[in-house]
Amino acid sequence: MTRRIKPITTAAVIFFLVSAVAPLFVSSWATLFALILAKGIVVLGIVLLLQAGQVSFGHAMFFAIGAYTSAFWGKYIGGGDILLYLVLGGISSTVFGLIVGLFVVRYREIFFGMLNLAFSMVLWSLLEKMFPYTNGADGIRVARPGLLGFVFTPETFQYVILYVSLLIAAAAFYGVQRYLESPLGHMLRAIKSNETRLEYLGMSARRVLLIGYVISAFLGGIGGTLVAIIQQIATPEFGFWTKSGEFVFIAILGGGAHAFGAFAGAAMFEWVRFYAAAHLADSWQLILGVVLIVIILYAPNGLIGLRQRYRQSGKRGR
Amino acid sequence: MQYFKTALAAAAATAILAGAALAQGKPQEIKIGIATFLSGPASVFGVPAKAAAEMIAEDLNKKGGIGGVPVKLSFIDEGAGGEALVSNYRRIVQDDKVDATFAAISSGSCNQLVPVAEDLKVMNFMWDCGAASILEVKKYRYNFRTQANGTPEMLAVLIYLLKTKPDFKTIAVVNQDYAWGRESWEIFSTALKAMKPDVQVVAELFPKFGAPDYSTEVSRLLALRPDVVLTTAWGGDLDTLVRQAGQRGLLQQSTFVLGIGESSIQRLGKDLPEGLIVGARGDHWFLHPEKKNDPAFKAFNEAFKAKTGAWPIYPVYHMAQAFKALQTAYDKAIKANGGNWPTREQVVDATAGTEFATGFGRPVTLRPEDNQGLEAQLVGVTKSFPGYDFKLLDNMMIFDPRVITNPAGVRSVEWLKTLKPEFAKMDVPTFKQ
Amino acid sequence: MNSTLAILAVLDGISYAALVFLVSVGLSLIFGVLRVVNVAHGSLYAFGAYLAATFSIKVAPLSPWLTYPALLAASVVIGVVCGGFIERFLLRPLYGRDDVLQLLITFAAFMIMDNLQRLIWGVQPIFAAEPLKLLPNVTVFGVNYTSYQVILLPGVALMTLFGLRYFLRHTLAGAVIMAVTEDREASTSIGIDARRVYFVTFIIGASLAALGGALASPTTSLVPGMGADMIVLSFAVAATAGLGQIEGTALTALMIGLTRAFVIYLQPEFEVLVPYLLMVLVLLVRPYGLFGATQVRKI
């Protein structure tokens, strides 16, 4: 297991370096990479739950909560700072994650997924319908915040938010990897492989899953906050079920077995969407759908699995 | 990792190219980036507008372009969702270096893109979005609205209603639940309260945007029997509402006011009865009473009909207006620069305060105080005419924008509250079909 | 709210519930047998609607009454062609693999179909109301209803409900499907071809979705994106009822339809929230749904 992780970690380091350097050459990539990293953070949370064999089809709710926390702060209190937004988004999504988590960790598999979906759809309808407070389907603008009191020009800002996202993404990646290697992380995996044994060992599977769930909600909230700052807007779409589907999609695309899958998947997804939307404006969904089918049918371990498969078949050949 | 290498190489290449392009002089082309709906429900506006843009650009280039420079269009899809929209907008501005953008149809998109355009210092024409608030809360340098906004659009419809049906006592509203639906009702109801305070609002319904079924809303309105039903819905939503209401006799029972119904008339065909009040978001009508004998206007309409199979609707004319505004601004800037090719900033300077003839209706002025366009408003009532398998507009009134637009610096709602009942008695010319 | 309005609300609720039931029951049936949540179900609904409209527009000039068989034909075509394709080529290679992959591949099918729909039928709203116009209006307390909506739709829904019940309980094919649902291993060992059962069930479920769409097509404008809304609504109904519960789905659809109608009369702002709020409340108390049996699947 550990031996297999190493080349992937190298790939992750290269990926983070490229994200840091490439946008210096093409300025529109700054936003693209910032988005990839922010979404990768959210998908990390999905990957985490996948370790326990659970799929949340409502994780966009935490994404939306993170985004709307900044939006509400800007709308009702005003001012704001990237750091403040992140702290607030982190807190609100953690609190929500804990509340929702207390209910959902009692269930597994499809029931787990369903209940998550149900909660997220309630949130979505509230964001849609509470027009006087949320501005309905149009969403709330998030004014460009400063960082630690500094105010930036738009040109600088896109790099500031890129590097903030990069820093958080790298930290989250490292943290999640450490967590998965820790005893708690192994217990989380045990929920998938043999939950009963976990219980026999005197561990509460619910508690183990709850911890994982709250962490993944926190990651969702942080990602949502970043995306809201990058896009300068929060809309109910952030919490719609297709968004949740997209996150699971990205996790499977990248490969759910390893934390780096989140970023590999996000990079692939945003890249295809960005360029397909640019050149084939009316068929980007089609292209993404076909890519997903091919991945599922022929590379079930996702993009990062491709490499392993290639190596294994090479070895066998030798 | 392979594609990152390729990407790096591409990045380097782009950087070199960008450096080379800095050389001044008359450019090879004027690049225009257009944000429009190519997917989603609002593509009922976006797709015809795209067809119009291509037609207009082709025609313009045949005549030598703008100041002798041909235009080149690129489109981005508003329907792809906020993230893709903003990143693609940044791409066309930062990588493709477009000279101007026309964005966008939905006020939601405008809200997202207007600050981005201001940040990137690229001239943007809000070519179709109607939320008045965008230009009221902040003064922009690079953003202009080349048409009216929701305030004069709704006010024209309301005054038409007050003039043609002065005695109504009750009204209900069925609007889509999003910014336009809510804001248009706020404008309409505020003005109504100011000009005719005795009217009672019996129901305010805001079904979800894109709702497939209005049966329950229709039942409720049938039971309530309001004198007037207002809706500012559009696209598939309006079609569904009108047909479900028509099928069950609601259109006959109450006077329906379709705030922006001009865009649905042809699609609704025979399902649209006579006697409905229809607004057009500007003086847009393919049989514009002051223009219908103008050969250029007729030729444009017929070419559009030949290309797309339908007569132009208001977004088509809005798109044409954006082109006219750009053309006028460039011509003005070239003149001001002594015949030399102007810088981008000079074009922006020239755009403020421009008055331009649209060719398809009355001229539009870009008010220099807030960059808001002053555009006349046409409202009419549906009536059958031989030779058309859909209803036409009759008893059309064309409203003077200077009278029905709130003054610069005064917020719409505040201004509407100050209106008096006499305001509705203004003189407005009426035209038969 | 007086009793007249209450009766109107009940009528509105019933006609809405009828359509929702048709779509949800297909979803529920597929889940009950294949244990797959078919995310593309909403797209099958949309395709059914579009194809039905295409057919009706074609046959209406011959005789408007031909539009009824056209609706039916469209739903069978979509069910067999699209449903068959999804089961045979997308789902079948994944049986025995992770549940999430099956779910995601239907998500991919949803994205593709959503896009194809735009490419095939375009973006302008399509409307084909012939079937609706053929039937007269009925008047209740001075309020007009179309008999298509308050009589025909509930009628078809009831027929589907009893038809499915009869099919599953009293025919051999139905018994085979039930056997596979109860215990796949045991039924395979007695010689039942589970794959065929899956194939047929998926086609039936898909046809029901398409039928829902076909029947909705005369009452509404067909627009891009109509599938995405329907899938979560029908999913909410099926999950609230308990996945795999046919009668339960009917009762839940009725409950949600009626609640929705009353909410529009009393508090229209909460209309969208109703089905999802009900779903959360029910699932919190009964995760297997209102009518789901607890032993359906535990871990």
For chain B, what are the domain ranges? 29-148+295-368, 151-280+376-431
> Matching CATH topology for B29-148+295-368 and B151-280+376-431?
yes
Q: Within a domain: residue A208?
A: yes
β-sheet bridge partners, residue B170: B200
- What percent of chain A is predicted at pLDDT more than 90? 18
Residue B80 C-alpha, separation from nearest chain C C-alpha, in angstroms: 12
Contacts of B91 in chain A (CB under 8 A): 28, 274, 278
Residue A96 located in a structural domain: yes
Name the least confident of B81-95, C22-36, C46-60: B81-95
For C111, the closest of A118, A288, A300 (CB atoms) is A288
Is the predicted ipTM greater than 0.95, yes or no? no
Q: Chain A closest CA to C172's CA: distance in Å?
A: 30
Residue pair C217/C121 in contact by the 8 Å Cβ criterion: no
Query: Is residue A114 one of the residues assigned to a domain?
Result: yes
CA dist A139 to A188, A274, B111, Å? 36, 22, 9
Angle at A149 between CA A145 and CA A152, to 5 degrees: 55
- Contact: A129, C235; criterion CB under 8 Å: no
Contact flag C143-B219 (C-beta cutoff 8 Å): yes
Which chain C residue lies closest to A289 (C-alpha atoms)? C108
Residues C209, A216: Cα–Cα separation, whole Å: 35
The topology (CATH level 3) of B29-148+295-368 is: Rossmann fold (3.40.50)
Distance, CA of B277 to CA of B380 (rounded, Å): 6
| CA-to-CA separations, B397 to B157, B393, B400, in angstroms, rounded | 10, 10, 10
The reply to whether C105 touches chain A by the CB within 8 Å rule is: yes
Beta-strand pair B71-77/B123-126: unpaired
Domain assignment of residue C185, given as a range: 3-296
User: Confidence band (pLDDT; 50, 70, 90) for C210?
Assistant: very high
Q: What is the pLDDT of residues B117-171, one digit of tens each?
A: 998 899 999 999 888 888 888 889 999 999 999 999 999 999 999 999 999 999 9
Contact B96/B31 with Cβ under 8 angstroms? yes
Query: Which uninterrupted H or E stretch holds C107?
Result: helix C99-121
Question: Is residue B102 within a helix (H) or strand (E), and if so which, with residue range?
Answer: strand B100-102
The pair of structure tokens assigned to B239 is 């079609």
Over residues C186-198, the pLDDT tens digits come to 887 887 888 888 8
Residue of B nearest to C261 (CA): B216
* Bridge-based pairing state of the strands B364-366 and B170-174: unpaired
Q: What percent of chain B has pLDDT over 90?
A: 51
Mean pLDDT estimate for chain C: 86
Instruction: Decide: B201 and B229 in contact? Cβ < 8 Å.
Output: no
**DSSP H helices in B273-400:** 295-308, 314-336, 344-351
B residues 78..117 contacting A (CB < 8 A) = 80-84, 86-88, 90-91, 94-95, 107-108, 111-112, 115-116
Instruction: Give the span between the Cα atoms of A294 and B109, in whole angstroms.
Output: 34
By Cβ distance, the residue of C133, C225, C230 closest to B41 is C225
Could you tell me if residue A173 is inside a domain? yes
Query: Between these two residues, C279 and B226, which has the higher pLDDT value?
Result: B226
Domain count, chain C: 1
The tokens for B11 are: 């990045």
Residue A248 lies in a domain: no
Residue A36 lies in a domain: yes
In tens, the pLDDT along B233-257 reads: 988 889 889 988 988 889 999 999 9
The mean pLDDT of chain B is 87
Assigned domain for A120 exists: yes
Chain B residues whose beta carbon lies within 8 Å of the beta carbon of residue C219: 213, 215, 240, 244
**Nearest 10 degrees: CA dihedral of C252, C257, C258, C259?**
90
Helices (H) and strands (E) in chain B, counts: 16, 16
Residue A82 falls inside a structural domain: yes
Instruction: Give the minimum alpha-carbon distance from C281 to chain A in angstroms, rounded to a whole number.
Output: 9
Please check whether residue B259 is in contact with residue B155, taking contact to mean a CB–CB distance below 8 angstroms: no
Tokens of B285: 């009508």
What does the pLDDT read at residue B15? 47
Q: In this predicted structure, what is the pLDDT of residue C24? A: 93
CATH of B151-280+376-431, one of 3.40.1110.10, 3.40.50.1000, 3.40.50.2300, 3.20.20.70: 3.40.50.2300
Please give the residue range of the domain that contains residue A42. 2-240
Considering only the beta carbons, identify the residue of B38, B206, B244 that sits closest to C219: B244
User: What single DSSP character describes residue C126?
Assistant: B
pLDDT(B19) > 60: no
pLDDT averaged per 10 residues, chain A (length 318): 60 80 78 89 91 86 93 82 89 93 83 86 86 77 79 80 90 89 81 74 79 93 92 85 88 81 87 74 80 82 63 44
Q: Are C5 and C13 in contact (CB under 8 A)?
A: no
CATH number at residue C240: 1.10.3470
Are the C-beta atoms of residues A213 and A105 closer than 8 Å to each other? yes
Using DSSP, state whether B228 is helix, strand or coil. Answer: strand
| Distance from C-alpha of B131 to C-alpha of B114, rounded to nearest angstrom | 12
* Of the listed ranges B218-222, C87-91, C142-146, the one predicted with least confidence: C142-146
